[in-house]
Amino acid sequence: MSIESIVKERSGAKCELCSSEDNLSVYEVPASPDQTAGSCVMVCGTCRTEIEDAETLDQNHWRCLNDSMWSQEPAVQVMAYRLLKRLSSETWAQDLLDMLYMEEDMIEWAEKGIALAELDAIKTVDVNGTPLQAGDNVTIIKDLPVKGSNLVIKQGTAVRGIRLTDNPLHVSGKAAGTNMVIIAAYCKKM
């Protein structure tokens, strides 16, 4: 039996968050400990859109979490926890979050997903807040000493075709004939 059919049967062909029966699909909960049906929830199109794009969060739609947070399915509880955390500035959401009881391993799973989402939300930007992308050209805005050498990258030096690194605060590129990692806040997009 496929994951989709297991989750569909478990959910009774309804969204496990809001109970809608329209436009259903399986959503794998990020940072899941495994890739089984237990790490997935059945969601409607509205819930999926709002989960994937935090800017579209409709507070009134998520009042349904009052019921779904009590689900016996760990993935549903984890999603309810994460959504309530996003909405915690609302009194009703904070009240529900305070009432929610979860095992420690499920809280760890929920918090890990929140941390990953926050890390993904951090964008690499230059000194002016302009988003940087791989391949952009930048200029250095101040003299930068290169660690481990006597070399100093002078203000105004062009770095062409930068690459993004795992750390959103850094970019890498070739300056003064040497590949190096540069703090993005010391760059200005050309």
Mean pLDDT for 91-107 is 93
The predicted structure's pLDDT at residue 115: 81
pLDDT at 119 over 90: no
Same domain for 39 and 105, yes or no, is yes
Residue 66 belongs to some domain of the structure: yes
The whole-chain average pLDDT of the chain stands at 90
Residue 25 belongs to some domain of the structure: yes
The predicted structure's pLDDT at residue 146: 83
Joined tokens for residue 25 = 């699909």
Closest to 30 in 3D by CA, of 17, 20, 41: 41
The predicted structure's pLDDT at residue 121: 66
Same domain for 161 and 99, yes or no, is no
Q: Which of 121, 153, 179 is the last residue of a domain?
A: 121
Please tell me whether residue 62 adopts helix, strand or coil conformation. helix
Q: Enumerate residues 6+ apart whose C-beta is below 8 A from 69.
A: 77, 80, 81, 84, 96, 99, 100
Residue 129 belongs to some domain of the structure: no
pLDDT digits (tens, 9 = 90+) for 141-178: 999 888 888 888 899 999 999 998 888 889 999 887 88
Closest to 101 in 3D by CA, of 81, 129, 122: 81
Rounded to 10 deg, the angle between the 104-121 and 74-86 helix axes is 50
Looking at 97-106, 118-127, 131-140, 175-184, which range is the least confident one? 118-127
Closest to 189 in 3D by CA, of 145, 148, 128, 146: 128
Model confidence at 120, in pLDDT bands (50, 70, 90)? low
Residue 126 belongs to some domain of the structure: no
Structural domain boundaries enclosing 173: 136-189
Residue 127 belongs to some domain of the structure: no
Judging by DSSP bridges, how do beta strands 170-175 and 163-164 pair with one another? antiparallel
Same domain for 103 and 144, yes or no, is no
Number of domains forming the structure of the chain: 2
Joined tokens for residue 162 = 């930068």
Vertex 121, ends 56 and 136: CA angle to 5°?
A: 115
pLDDT at 28 over 90: yes
Residue 62 belongs to some domain of the structure: yes
Same domain for 20 and 50, yes or no, is yes
pLDDT at 67 over 70: yes
Mean pLDDT for 76-100 is 93
Give 48-56's long-range contacts (Cβ < 8 A, gap of 24+): 51/27, 51/79, 51/83, 54/86, 54/117, 54/121
Kindly report whether the global pTM for this prediction surpasses the value 0.75: no
CA 88 to chain centre: 17
Give the number of other Cβ atoms within 10 Å of residue 13's Cβ. 10
Same domain for 103 and 185, yes or no, is no
